A and B are shown apart, each in its own frame.
Chain A
Amino acid sequence: MDFRWDVVWTAMPQMVEGAQLTAQITLLGIGGGMVIGTLCGLIMAFRLPVIHWLVFAYISVIRGTPIVVQAMFIYFALPMAADIALSGFVAASLTLALNAGAYITEIVRGAVQSIDRGLTDAGLALGLSYPQVLVSIVGPLAFRRTIPPLGNQFIISLKDSALFLVIGVAELAQQGEQLTAQTGRALEIWTAVAVFYLAMTFSLAVIMRLIERRMTIL
């Protein structure tokens, strides 16, 4: 069996383009997911009246349905239901943000709730307000605990972005599919695509590990 390197080289520009789009969607997705997840996680941790039920409903819907269905819904169903038509790129980023946001909500909630209640007592006993306790004590301690599970979630989100090929976004996996159809060389193309994904997830893992190491003092 021969591995035709020339196929890989010819396909390279198109794959790099796909990888760039994957990176953009992932960054927007996990960035948006962080904003949503931090807010919702705090709402859940402190059980803010009424609104925490809304957050609970949001998490249940996202965790209870496959991300493919979510992408399909946002891209194909939303225009019919609410006359909101989004480009593939926007729909993909939004889906990823909403999806990651639900899981990050649970990560943040868990981290905040894992901080010893005695530290909050100590802060309040000094005369600090609840927001001050959150900013100076619980927040920094909880943040450290979110880093390992966040790293996991970021990698999952990056890989999940591959299924946006179903809504026609020209990200890395979709480029792989097109290239395979053009060249008929599945072995070379999918090997190269896999290597691209591996390089990206590995870089993410290394970055998270570095952040974690800087924060180890607890």
Chain B
Amino acid sequence: MSLIACSKLTKHFGDTPVLRDIDLVVEAGEVVVIVGASGSGKSTLLRCINVLEPITSGTLEVDGKRLGERGTSPRAIRRETGMVFQQFNLFPHMTARENVMLGPRKVRRQGRAEARATADRLLQRVGLLEWADQRPSQLSGGQQQRVAIARALAVNPKVMLFDEPTSALDPELRGEVLQVMQDLAAEGMTMIIVTHEMRFAEAAAHRLIFMDDGRIVHEGHPGTLFANPPSERFSDFLGHVKT
């Protein structure tokens, strides 16, 4: 059974359609990279999968739970999906460790000691254990994003969603974040990533999706798509991001 299944998913903001008839199936362990020009709907698609945006029509199923069915609240779906944001969105009044502990404490009902152990294990994994007592404002952008990844992992999600995780970072800080993501992919985490990092896509993605005007236009192996762009629109897009 696939981990994520959207069928005929549409999303309108008022009268403006942002997503049109999206059919998307993601299997466990798959790494899917979504690319497209800004306004193509890729971030909205991620936010819909996490139910941060209500969908207008169509169906969404995460880990066998269908949104809107009896007993499947948006919360039930969000618990299975971790999200990493472009602007990190760390809680500024908490230390790095407290940021990571919040999910286990409130969502997984772990005790303080257990949540602390979870947090320290994950901070270790993203290489930031010695920064655990710092507040977000004392960390660099790359460090903040790594804490944000640890925070999302802490509730044990089945799939991780990344919304342009390196776009707000200086070029020299992107590598450390991409490295953490690549490690996650290598460990078999299911991931959907919206990014402009084509080299990362080529190295880590099993599947590349190109979106345009709220639709999935192309889908395939990144190497193949890069080598033989199937449309002028796609090769134009590649030309823009590569420069």
**B93, A125: Cβ atoms closer than 8 Å:** no
| Chain B residues whose CB sits within 8 angstroms of the CB of A118 once the complex forms | 85, 87, 89
Closest chain-B Cβ to A140's Cβ sits at a distance in Å of 5
CA distance A126 to B101 in the complex (A): 11
* Complex-state Cα separation, A126 to B161, whole angstroms: 12
Structural contact, A125 and B75, CB atoms closer than 8 A: no
A122/B81 in contact, CB under 8 A: no
Interface status of B237 (Cβ within 8 A of chain A): no
Residues of A within 8 A of B152 (CB): 125-126
Task: Given A125-B50, A125-B152, answer yes or no on A141-B87 (Cβ-Cβ < 8 Å).
Answer: no
Residues of chain B in range 185-204 having any CB-CB distance to chain A below 8 Å: none
Task: Tell me if A125 and B106 are in contact (CB < 8 A).
Answer: no
Other-chain contact of B78, A119, A127, A132 (Cβ < 8 Å) = A127
A116 to B89, CA, bound (A): 9
Known: A125-B50, A217-B135. A137 touches B91 (CB 8 A): yes
Are the C-beta atoms of B102 and A136 separated by less than 8 Å? Answer: yes
For A135, give the chain B residue with the smallest CB separation. Answer: B106
The CA of A136 and the CA of B92, in the complex, are separated in Å by: 12
Please report the C-alpha to C-alpha distance between residue A140 and residue B93 in the assembled complex, in whole angstroms: 8
Please name all residues of chain B whose beta carbon is closer than 8 Å to the beta carbon of A48 when the two chains form the complex.
Answer: none
Q: State how many residues of chain A have any CB contact under 8 Å with chain B.
A: 20
Q: How far is the CB of A121 from chain B (nearest CB, A)?
A: 5
Interface size on B, residues (CB 8 A): 26
A126 lies within 8 A of B93 (CB): no
Contact A129 B75 (CB under 8 A): yes
The answer to whether B92 touches A126, judged by C-beta atoms less than 8 angstroms apart, is no
A126 touching B102 in the complex, CB below 8 Å, given contacts A140-B93, A217-B93, A218-B93: yes
Cross-chain contact B92 with A141 (CB below 8 angstroms):
yes
**Mask of B125-137 contacts with A, CB within 8 angstroms, 1/0:** 0000000000101
Cβ of A125 and Cβ of B81 under 8 Å apart?
A: yes
CB < 8 Å: which of B74, B82, B91 contacts A119?
A: B91
Chain A proximity mask over B55-94: 1 for CB below 8 Å, otherwise 0 = 0000000000000000000110011011101010111110
A127 touches B93 (CB 8 A): no
CB pair A121 B85 closer than 8 Å:
yes
Residues of A contacting B90 with CB < 8 Å?
Answer: 122
Whether A122 touches B93, Cβ cut-off 8 Å, given contacts A127-B79, A217-B135, is no
Q: Do A122 and B89 touch across chains, with their CB atoms under 8 A apart?
A: yes
**Any chain A CB within 8 A of the CB of B52?**
yes
**A78 CB within 8 Å of chain B:** no
Q: List, sorted by A's number, 24 A–B pairs whose CB atoms are closer than 8 Å.
A: A116-B89, A118-B87, A121-B83, A122-B148, A122-B151, A124-B52, A124-B74, A125-B78, A125-B83, A125-B85, A125-B152, A126-B82, A126-B102, A127-B78, A127-B79, A127-B107, A127-B155, A128-B106, A132-B106, A136-B102, A141-B92, A141-B93, A144-B93, A217-B93
